[in-house]
A and B are shown apart, each in its own frame.
Chain A
Amino acid sequence: MSHHVTFQDLPEGGEKFDPARGSKLIGGFAMAGLIGLIGSAFFFFTRTDTFAYSWLFAVFVAFTVVVGACFWILLHNASNSGWGISIRRLFENLANMILVVGLFALPLLVPAVQNPLWEWMAHHREAAHHAHDSGETVKEALHHMAQADSHLHILVEKFGYLNIGGWHVRFFLYFTILWFIASTLRKRSVMQDSDGNIKHTIWSRQFSCLLLFFFALTATFASVDWLMTLDYSWFSTMWGVYIFAGCAWSSMAVMILLVTWLKSLGYLNKVVTDEHYHLMGKLLFAFTVFWAYIAFSQYFLIWYANITEETRFYLTRNTETWRWVSIFILVGHFAGPFVILLDQQRKKKTRWMVGMCLWILFMHVVDIYWNIIPERGPSLTHGEQWLIPYAWIQDVFALLAVVGGVGFVFLRGLGKFSLYPCRDPRLIESANVVN
């Protein structure tokens, strides 16, 4: 058993990260982001249709990780946990990346990007055009269009939720709410760094309990608005929670990697121990199972009910190449991590956990890819092609741009505050945690 850490052992004012010490990784992210951005800019102007999907995929990967971080700080505060005080600041910083993700998400507001992605928007715009000429409302114009093409009738029915104005309002709401949560909690936490007042802890707890509700709404409806409506006739009631499971999972993996990296640079060594790895590993394991539970439930409900609109999603993903990706996800997203993370001792071994977390992040990216990209071929070629040849290159560039960009800004900004809440009254409890 190691020495009991007290406030005397810790540097006053906490540990400040010096970006120069982590310049290798930060430079790597900057490089990736730069290459990605150049490639993305090229594809954005030359291949807007296919690239729209790549960009949505890349932005959504970053979005899920940041939303996951937001969830972990909310849960941590709301459940009044003591163990994770040492890593809470890192989650707070990660959650605050929501503004950067929002910046990267701006191209999704361009109509030329929206129309190939969300066909319903193209139909709505066409209806708006007709409405402008004939003087009816957009919904009436849509109704007229549906008389010629019965597939569109569902858009008339869904008009109350699925309309362009509402979509944009919600788009800004998601980012505003998430940013409000992340920045408020970090502001309180940083205030505590200087005065050490327990009031901030209590205030954050109350705030988190209330805001968890709104958080759940943003994560759920963001995934509905951006992903589920890629096919406007498809729907799944498990969708929001399915995406959420991936958010929390990938975010925890990022955290374990980040903590390991910081420890290797000589930070956090007094406040983060093997016990924290074990605790984070347990949560990672829990969400491996939770994701599988939700993913299977979604599949199971659709498979059993066998309703034409619903099965389309899995038919696409169970055909040709995508079938192998589906099987790969089953094994790599669930079975592999499940067996490896099952062992208690392994969760305390940094090497195992780093390997596992890298794998988990990879699988998370594959999962999001598998959710978005299969829509691209059928949507853009009206069902003639499953895949657009060589479009995956655009996906890689988009991913490099967004992940590189967000990663660079995130790591550069780590030095702004202490790496852990240095005067949180329960910091010592966290540093000495045993489970």
Chain B
Amino acid sequence: MDVAMGNPRSKLPWLVFFGGATGFTVAFLMQFLTQVVIYPTVVQGKPTDIYTLPAFFPVMFELTILFSAFTTLFGLLALIGLPRLNHPLFASKRFPKFSDDGFFVCIEARDAKFTKEGTKSFLEGIGGKNIELVEDEI
């Protein structure tokens, strides 16, 4: 579908990458600062310097995943503009079919090439049957 519509690649992976990197860094700093810099803690005879690093890895791993998961979810919601309470398209009676077994083509008024008549005749020209103008209720 993405290829057919000519959609560009989503920016989400970049957000997730930086989200994960943040988690990794936060986990490292949180442990390094508390366990090495501020209050050196000897656990199991392990050194209290950078060589304690292996002990930090589980938390770094977990926080990387946690932050990545959060950025995936919230980044996605932000990119697609959710949550929003209503959308003018819901007013269309045909629209519910879109989430079942039909396709729905929508050309928004903010599209640069949109004109009320021009778009209608264009859609008719390519064989459209059920063309309707949906307007925001407000």
Contacts and interface: CB of A to CB of B under 8 A. Distances in A.
A1 interface: yes
Interface in B9-50: 13, 44-46
B130 to A, nearest CB: 27
A13 B58 CA distance: 53
Given A306-B44, A306-B45, A300 B54 contact: yes
B73 interface: no
Interface in A1-50: 1
Contacts of B13: 344
A299 interface: yes
A1 B3 contact: yes
Interface string A264-305: 000000000000000000000000000000001001100110
Contact of B57 (A1, A300, A306, A344): A300
B4 interface: yes
Contacts of B54: 296, 299-300, 303-304
In the complex, the 8 A-B pairs of residues with the closest C-beta atoms, listed nearest first: A303-B54, A300-B54, A1-B3, A304-B44, A296-B57, A306-B44, A300-B57, A299-B54
B55 interface: yes
A155 B3 CA distance: 63
Given A296-B54, A300-B58, A304-B46, 12 more contacts: A1-B4, A296-B57, A299-B54, A300-B54, A300-B57, A303-B54, A304-B44, A304-B54, A304-B55, A306-B44, A306-B45, A344-B13
Interface residues of A, number: 8
Interface of B: 3-4, 13, 44-46, 54-55, 57-58
A336 B19 CA distance: 20
16 contacts: A1-B3, A1-B4, A296-B54, A296-B57, A299-B54, A300-B54, A300-B57, A300-B58, A303-B54, A304-B44, A304-B46, A304-B54, A304-B55, A306-B44, A306-B45, A344-B13
Contacts of A1: 3-4
A296 B56 CA distance: 12
Nearest to B4: A1
B69 to A, nearest CB: 16
A280 B44 CA distance: 42
Interface string A303-320: 110100000000000000
Interface in A338-366: 344
A203 to B, nearest CB: 36
Nearest to B58: A300
A300 B54 CA distance: 7
Contacts of B46: 304
Contacts of B57: 296, 300
Contacts of A300: 54, 57-58
Nearest to B55: A304
A304 B45 CA distance: 9
B57 to A, nearest CB: 7
Contacts of A304: 44, 46, 54-55
Contacts of A306: 44-45
Nearest to A300: B54
Nearest to B45: A306
A1 B1 CA distance: 11
Contacts of A344: 13
B79 to A, nearest CB: 17
Contacts of A303: 54
Nearest to B43: A304
Nearest to A296: B57
A1 B4 CA distance: 8
A295 to B, nearest CB: 12
A304 B47 CA distance: 11
A303 B4 CA distance: 53
A344 B14 CA distance: 12
A300 B55 CA distance: 8
A304 B43 CA distance: 10
A416 to B, nearest CB: 38
Contacts of B45: 306
A72 to B, nearest CB: 27
A299 B58 CA distance: 12
A432 B84 CA distance: 38
A164 to B, nearest CB: 38
B72 to A, nearest CB: 15
A256 to B, nearest CB: 23
A281 to B, nearest CB: 15
A299 B55 CA distance: 11
B28 to A, nearest CB: 15
A243 to B, nearest CB: 21
Nearest to A1: B3
A301 to B, nearest CB: 10
